[in-house]
Amino acid sequence: MSRLRFLLPAFAATLLAVVPLTNLRGEETQPPAPVTAEQVQASPDDDALLNKFLGEQFNGIASIMNSKPTEAAAKLAELEKALAKVEPTADKAKTLVATANRIIPSYRSSIELAQTSLADLEKSLTEKPDAGTLSKWSRKVQQEISSLARSEPDEAAKKLAAAKAFAEKLVATSEDEAFTKMVTSLDRSWTALDKSIESGKKLAQLIGSPAAPLAVSAWVNGSPLTDNDLKGKVVLLDFWAVWCGPCIATFPHLREWNEKYADKGLVIVGLTRYYNYEWNAETNKAARAAQGTKVSPEDEQEMLVKFAEEHNLKHRFAIQEGSEMSDYYAVSGIPHVVVIDQEGKVRLMRIGSGEKNASDISKLLAELLE
């Protein structure tokens, strides 16, 4: 199966908001509007349009899957109904539709799990242990703890301890050897969650720390900045990459915050690296260079300028020099946002593009700047 953009991990994407902006040429423009079902139904063989539609739909559903599962279920049903009316004849478009239809049951299963409480699953396992319920319980534990591990690591640790204790109880009371082995095999999941929680604790320890000095090799989409330029400003550092689907999902929020607060003292800096990407003039998108081709720093910088224009992003991009800043802020996944207050202290860090993260960032920016 081909690697499709909408299949990239998405911690939550919102559909694009329509906010008046000015592009790099100083012309009045709008952020790109979301693709509608009617558009893809009218042009079913336009695989680029179809891929964009599916990306927006699946990411939008993922963004509310845990917080608003009933609404997510309704949106998934709408998507399934819309896809039933898309009848492509081109192979690429057929593959996209077929893949989307294969993904829908997985999304439906995740939504159903979000609507089920951990307590209900534990009650069922206590009354009648079985592999199917155990699998749901394990997924539910991971679902709940993963969402807390980096933002509320202490609470996540409590939940994990409770899950481990329940698993031990299941092992102690079960007389089914096969079931017992399934329970003990969950240790691998606990190890992964432990690592996420430890990462979250490291992030929590950085709150209140002074901001790291800028370590930037090149500035794009705006004039260079120094540490002195940032004194007395609220700084939002956004660690991202052009190939990162969840990063792109945060762009509507970045546009909104920049539009609302740039004149009030907010400076957004998008921190990225050289990834050997260039601008494809035919598709009007960033693309990885062909194997064996080395994109020059100047050409990659130009790609980023065009990328910013395509996505109506007005804030500066900074290409990191080494890994000092990523190491200091314990960046282990992107998008990774750091908010620094006017005193130069780290106030908040969030990883992923979920609505909860966006809400937390919005509240802090309002507190600092309004």
User: In this structure, is the dihedral angle defined by the CA atoms of residues 50, 51, 56 and 62, taken in order, positive or negative?
Assistant: positive
Q: pLDDT tens, 171-207?
A: 999 999 999 999 999 998 899 999 989 989 989 999 9
Q: pLDDT per residue over 298-314, tens digit each?
A: 999 999 999 999 999 99
- For residue 135, which amino acid is it? S
Does 80 lie in the same domain as 182? no
Average pLDDT over residues 63-85: 91
Q: Of 114, 145, 180, which residue sits at a domain end?
A: 114
Q: CA 202 to CA 210: how far, in whole Å?
A: 15
Domain assignment of residue 269, yes or no = yes
Same domain for 103 and 171: no
Confidence of residue 101 (pLDDT cuts 50, 70, 90): very high
Of the residues 206, 237, 256, the one at which a domain ends: 206
Q: Which domain holds residue 19?
A: 5-114
Place of tokens 């007395």: 232
Q: What is the pLDDT of residues 37-60, one digit of tens each?
A: 999 999 999 998 998 899 889 888
Q: Are residues 220 and 345 in the same domain?
A: yes
Number of other CB atoms surrounding residue 357 within 10 Å: 23
Quick one: 201 and 228 in the same domain?
no
320 in any annotated domain: yes
Residue 320's H or E segment, with its range, is strand 316-320
Q: What is the pLDDT of residues 137-163, one digit of tens each?
A: 999 999 889 878 888 899 999 999 999
Q: How does pLDDT run across 127-138, given as a tens digit for each residue?
A: 999 999 999 999
- What is d(CA 209, CA 274) in angstroms, rounded to the nearest whole number? 28
The amino acid that residue 310 corresponds to is E
Residues 62 and 23 placed together within one structural domain of the fold:
yes
**70 and 191 part of one domain:** no
* Bond before 335 cis per omega within 30 degrees: yes
Residues 194 and 222 in one domain: no
Are 221 and 348 in a shared domain?
yes
Region 21-27: mean pLDDT is 29
d(CA 299, CA 80): 41
For 160, the token pair is 């994990």
Judging by DSSP bridges, how do beta strands 277-280 and 285-288 pair with one another?
A: antiparallel
Domain shared by 87 and 65, yes or no: yes
Residues 62/108, Cβ–Cβ less than 8 Å: no
- The verdict on residue 287 lying in a domain is yes
Orientation angle between helical segments 91-114 and 47-64, nearest 10 degrees = 0
Residue 270 has pLDDT above 60, yes or no: yes
SS3 278: strand
3-state secondary structure of 302: helix
pLDDT at 249 over 90: no
For residues 99 and 163, state if they share a domain.
no
- Model confidence at 22, pLDDT cuts 50, 70, 90, reads very low
Within the chain, where are the H helices?
37-42, 47-64, 69-83, 91-114, 118-127, 131-149, 153-173, 177-184, 187-206, 245-249, 251-261, 297-310, 324-328, 355-369
Instruction: Provide, rounded to the nearest whole percent, the portion of the chain with pLDDT above 90.
Output: 74
Of 260-264, 329-333, 344-348, where does mean pLDDT reach its minimum? 329-333
Domain count along the chain: 3
Please state which of the ranges 8-17, 120-129, 249-258, 292-301 shows the lowest mean pLDDT.
Answer: 8-17
Q: Are residues 365 and 220 in the same domain?
A: yes
Average pLDDT, the chain: 88
- 234-239 β-sheet, strand order: 216-220, 316-320, 266-272, 234-239, 336-340, 346-351
Examine the domain organization and report whether 137 and 246 are in the same domain: no
Supply the pLDDT for residue 62: 83
pTM for the full predicted model: 0.70
| Interatomic CA distance for residues 24 and 312, integer angstroms | 8
CB hemisphere CA count around 281 (13 angstroms): 2
| Nearest Cα residue to 253 out of 28, 31, 6 | 31
Of 85, 114, 143, the last residue of a domain is 114
In a domain, 131, yes or no: yes
Task: Identify whether 211 is part of a domain.
Answer: no
- pLDDT tier at 32, thresholds 50, 70, 90: low
- Say what angle helices 177-184 and 153-173 make with each other, to 10 degrees: 160
Q: Which residue has the tokens 């939504």?
A: 111
